Chain A
Amino acid sequence: GEDVEQSLFLSVREGDSSVINCTYTDSSSTYLYWYKQEPGAGLQLLTYIFSNMDMKQDQRLTVLLNKKDKHLSLRIADTQTGDSAIYFCAEVASGNTGKLIFGQGTTLQVKP
């Protein structure tokens, strides 16, 4: 079945770059998403990439997509303490249902 995998934890120093990785299984996914969740809050859509793109940049965020390896990454440049949160990647499930398949989430810890 469809599955999305992420590493569970990443710790970086303030000012460094963070790279959060994700692998997915459904090669027919049209869109792939990155969401951010702060403690006790809902999910905030950060960015997304269409499956025919290799890269998308949005200010400090860079998304890289390797379709051959079904690998997605989110790079956060100049990471700040306010970036500390859980980051989820998600793919659109097959079939026109709008269902999203989420990874387990990567907890990003930014040390001052």
Chain B
Amino acid sequence: DGGITQSPKYLFRKEGQNVTLSCEQNLNHDAMYWYRQDPGQGLRLIYYSQIVNDFQKGDIAEGYSVSREKKESFPLTVTSAQKNPTAFYLCASSTSGIAEQFFGPGTRLTVL
């Protein structure tokens, strides 16, 4: 089955720790995206990548980092510099920069 997987589904982190969220797709999509969702708000773009070994900051990149070493993988690291990291994180991919995006099931991160 083709799709996007995110792991883990739930993640708990102590303040001051870095944590990495996984996103993998087997759709052969070139573009991948990370969004953050807070209650009662729409999705806000953190980082995106249109091609392997290249990525750009989105609207709320501060405190986050990404890498795109393989076409199918786009991990997101939430660093200790992120002031309010508790949120639902969604990964998406698309065939190109103007095509519809398909989403993974999300990771809920809670900082204790």
Q: Which residues of A contact B (CB under 8 A)?
A: 4, 8, 30-31, 33, 35, 40-45, 48, 88, 92, 96-100, 102-105
Contact = CB atoms under 8 A, between A and B. Distances in A.
A8 B50 contact: no
Contacts, number: 63
Nearest to A99: B45
A75 B97 CA distance: 28
Interface of B: 4, 6, 31, 33, 40-43, 45, 48, 50, 56, 58, 90, 92, 94, 96-106, 108
Given A92-B98, A98-B98, A43 B103 contact: yes
Contact of A97 (B6, B43, B50, B104): B50
A98 B97 contact: yes
B42 A104 contact: yes
B43 A88 contact: yes
B102 A30 contact: no
B93 to A, nearest CB: 10
